[in-house]
A and B are shown apart, each in its own frame.
Chain A
Amino acid sequence: MSTTSIDVFDESSHWELSPQVSLRDEAFGALAYHHGNRRLVFLKSRDLVELVRRLGDFDNVSAALDELVSSEQRARYVAALASLHRSGLLSA
């Protein structure tokens, strides 16, 4: 399933939403469901949803954050991505 979850999440690498994950928009953000490990995760803001959707378009996470997230918010979003990574929702 998710071999990626044993890798370390780091901002200088490329990560994207795992092809095993479906996103469904909701008023509070979105629901993410991993069809392999059956995890259901709540993405609690629209901005996070946007970041997660577009993550794969960038060479690495830093570049995505530079473009999509203000510097004050950066730490929060890194933490959010790291937790999605721990749940196996991101792949390299």
Chain B
Amino acid sequence: MPESSLRDRFERGLAAPICLTWELTYACNLACTHCLSSSGRRDPRELTTSEAKKLIDEIAAMQIFYVNIGGGEPMVRRDFFELVEHAVAQRVGVKFSTNGTRIDRAAAERLARIDYLDIQVSIDGADAATNDRIRGRGSYAAARRAMDNLRLANFGQFKISVVMTRDSVEQLDDFEALARDYGAELRLTRLRPSGRGADVWNDLHPTLDQGRALYRWLLARPNVLTGDSFFHLSALGNPLEGLNLCGAGRVVCLIDPVGDVYACPFVIHDEFLAGNVRENGFAAVWSDGELFRSLREPTSPGACASCGSYDACRGGCMAAKFFTGLEMTDPDPECVFGHGERALATKQVAIRPHSTPDHSRRVSVSLTSRS
């Protein structure tokens, strides 16, 4: 089967997701300005330990090979290790994303003993000043301490994960050097206007020139991971590594801390809510949810129909369009040819939806005053 027909097949959906993200909690001890899930306060309706274990059993039965655990800060949950151990015992691999604040020496040692576990430590700048502007005072030092502890505990290769902003995209070589120092893998992802990201996206998303530079940098480094984030840049020429399609509801999916199932981690909004695992379990939502069925229908290229690069970029990211107030048939707001910017500029009224659930803390507290 040629690659393109495999991609068509993917667009019609799979028996189970490949990339399932499960956010364990909305609680977080940081308050990053671009948080995709507007996290901060725990939601009292979050899944209990036994509900969470039942969900893991279902994930194992569906042969979902691994689950991406995020939050909030997943390590804030008291049953964090219990759940991770429950998953890996059934060979459901865990890839979890953390701000690193809870990885002290003891936690690092415990993490190092678990098979099938990958860790991503998030930073948003190659130095404290750049990072802490987004993630809060003291957060860079905390993340570096976590990395040091993982190294001391012989965890092995972990990942350093960075969201590309107008500032961090200027530090690519520094991130690469930092990853090399730790023997870590570097993972770069796209800033989307989701959650609190909506508030900062205008000022922080990379410029078109920066996008082009990032594309060239990534093309030369196929080993840098991107989670398929930057496929809109593939319109510039040779495709980047990955499937180069929007997998929302087809190969990608999010389960949020209260068990709500959304099409992707970047669309926490009623419009993309497919159901809840508490009703009939996750498999029922995945295979029969009305929203997912409609996402698996062929999409119209809309305004992108006449673009010679449509096959490479497929009109870009649904979340980025939705939260900037564009239509699904409009080009991506960061379309490499500037069509998205023009589409935004011509809208008389751009209604920019906000993520429906918002768990931001009402007063943000700096890390240093809390630890």
Contacts and interface: CB of A to CB of B under 8 A. Distances in A.
B1 to A, nearest CB: 4
Contacts of B9: 26-28
Interface string A16-58: 0000001011111101010100101010110000000000000
Contact of A31 (B18, B93, B116): B18
Interface in B93-134: 93, 116, 118
B27 interface: no
Given A35-B116, A42-B6, A45-B1, A25 B91 contact: no
Nearest to B2: A44
B65 interface: yes
Q: How large is the interface on A (under 10, 10 to 19, 20 to 34, 35 or more residues)?
A: 10 to 19
**Candidate in A25, A33, A45 with the most chain B CB atoms within 10 angstroms:** A33
**Candidate in B9, B16, B65, B118 with the most chain A CB atoms within 10 angstroms:** B65
Interface residues of B, number: 15
Main secondary structure of the interface of B (DSSP, over half): loop
Contact of B65 (A29, A33, A44): A33
B91 A35 contact: yes
Contacts of B16: 24
**Candidate in A24, A27, A40 with the most chain B CB atoms within 10 angstroms:** A24
A24 B15 contact: yes
Given A38-B118, A40-B65, A45-B1, A26 B15 contact: yes
A24 B6 CA distance: 16
A27 B13 CA distance: 10
A22 to B, nearest CB: 6
A79 to B, nearest CB: 14
Contacts of A40: 18, 65
Contacts of B91: 22, 35
A35 B93 contact: yes
Interface string B65-80: 1100000000000000
B63 interface: yes
A5 to B, nearest CB: 17
13 contacts: A22-B63, A24-B63, A24-B65, A27-B9, A27-B12, A29-B1, A33-B65, A33-B66, A35-B65, A35-B91, A38-B118, A44-B6, A45-B1
